[in-house]
Amino acid sequence: MLSSAEQEFSLTRRRRKVTQQGARITYEVWLGQQMRIGIDLGGTKIEGIAIDEGGVERARLRIPTPKGDYEAVVKAVTSLVLDIEKNRGGRGTVGVGIPGAISPATGLVKNANTVELIGHPLDKDLSRALGREVRVANDANCFALSEATDGAGAGGQVVFGVIIGTGVGGGVVVNGRVLTGSHAIAGEWGHNPLAWPRDDERPGHPCFCGRPGCNESFLAGPSLSRDHRLATGQDLEAREIAERAEGGDAKAIATMVRYEDRMARALAVIINVLDPDFVVLGGGVSNIARLYRELPLVLPKYVFSDTADTPIVKAKYGDSSGVRGAAWLWPPKR
């Protein structure tokens, strides 16, 4: 039984700011609470956070991703977790989001654009290094889980999370759990062909996956820029096109109308199959405000229903959704 003084201390928050190896770390340490650690393992950076039982962030650290050396990546993730725990004053569960997936057939990483990971049993190697189970999931699945748990899709039974940036990805969450699928490709919406293609959209631009006409080749940020350039000769970023459209530029408006129609067709396929409670958009393109105004007007043309009012919402946690979702791979107590 704790004394009153000990109980008071167990609820005391300690703030620290530490500089280590060029990384700025901010810790908010709460004693006496369960800690979940999430890691977002990207091609250029590894970011780690700790959240408490209520989803409040208590620590964050970002370090560069080692290049070309799988063992160095494993050591970097391990050190990051231990550093957060040391400064947090406790031991936590660990989840890791990666730009790929663990193959159910082989137990090895596949489809990763961080190529150092491909062909390795990352979950087992991290579990061995940290002396506990480490859960590893696709980063788009982590994004969807974050937004379904306590983000823009909270309260939804079925949530489809979409990442639209330099590429296009997706994740499905059902009743608070990630739907991975028997091949670990559930939600790989970016590599389906664009639905109901127009004559001038066939066969479509080549995609890095080797097939033409994928959603990604029409909907990613660089694809929006390319479409505008081919139509107008203007070389603009997606953000600039949207800004010009909001300002009344006719050419930019035409580009956005084409883009929104394509997005609506692609999302209609998902809505027809999953009928989600929310579609949550993340990634750089999700910052284009007119999407949330225009997509609901276009979707009814393609959704197989007498009504089509699925909420299309912007991610609550933005770029932090992936790392938060990695932490939530250990779900909250119900």
315 within 8 A of 279, measured Cβ to Cβ: no
pLDDT higher than threshold 50 for residue 50: yes
- Give the pLDDT score at 334: 61
Strand partners, 226: none
> Could you give the 3-state DSSP secondary structure of residue 18?
strand
**Alpha-carbon gap, residue 189 to 273, rounded angstroms:** 12
Contact yes or no for 76/66 (Cβ under 8 A): yes
Angle, CA of 112, 115 and 117, to the nearest 5°: 75
Instruction: Report the pLDDT averaged over residues 179-183.
Output: 96
Q: What are phi and psi of 249, to 5 degrees?
A: -65, 120
Kindly provide the b/e burial profile for residues 248-271, where b requires at least 16 CB atoms within 10 angstroms of the residue's own CB: ebebbbebbebbbbbbbbbbbbbb
Q: What is the dihedral of CA 18, 19, 24, 25, to 10 degrees?
A: -30
Q: How many Å apart are CA 119 and CA 142, to the nearest integer? A: 21
Q: What is the mean pLDDT of residues 188-192?
A: 94
Domain segments of the chain: what residues?
16-143+320-327, 155-315
What is the mean predicted confidence (pLDDT) over 225-245?
A: 98
Q: Which amino acid is at 139?
A: D
Q: What is the pLDDT of residue 307?
A: 94
Q: How far apart are CA 146 and CA 136, in angstroms?
A: 14
> Has residue 51 got a pLDDT over 50?
yes
pLDDT bucket at 4, cuts 50 / 70 / 90: very low
Residue 113 vs residue 295, higher pLDDT: 295
Per the listing, tokens 């970097």 go with 76
Query: Residue 16 and residue 61: Cα distance in Å, rounded?
Result: 12
Containing 88, the helix (H) or strand (E) segment is helix 70-88
CA angle 307, 213, 266 (to 5 degrees): 15
Mean pLDDT along residues 64-93:
95
User: In 3D, which of 246, 65, 266 has the Cα closest to residue 164?
Assistant: 266
Arithmetic mean of pLDDT over the chain: 90
Tell me the two tokens of residue 276. Answer: 């989600």
More confident residue, 88 or 298: 298
**Pairwise CA distance, residues 308 & 137, whole Å:** 31
Q: In the predicted model, is pLDDT for residue 46 greater than 90?
A: yes
pLDDT of residue 172: 98
Whole-number Å distance between alpha carbons of 244 and 224: 14
Q: How confident is the model at residue 20 (pLDDT cuts 50, 70, 90)?
A: very low
Average pLDDT over residues 226-248: 98
Least confident of 15-24, 115-124, 215-224: 15-24
Q: The tokens of 294 are what?
A: 């225009």
48 has which bridge partners?
A: 39, 61
79-105 confidence digits (pLDDT tens):
999 999 998 889 999 999 999 999 999
CATH class of the domain comprising 16-143+320-327 = alpha beta
The pLDDT assigned to 27 comes to 40
Question: What pLDDT score does 33 carry?
Answer: 62
* pLDDT per residue as tens digits for the range 239-288: 999 999 999 999 999 999 999 999 999 999 999 999 999 999 999 999 99
Per-residue pLDDT of 125-173, as tens digits, reads 999 999 999 999 999 999 999 999 999 999 999 999 999 999 999 999 9
What's the CATH class of domain 155-315? alpha beta
Share of the chain above pLDDT 70, in %: 90
Answering whether pTM is above 0.75, one says yes
**Residue 171, SS3 per DSSP:** strand
The pLDDT of 299-304, averaged and rounded, is: 98
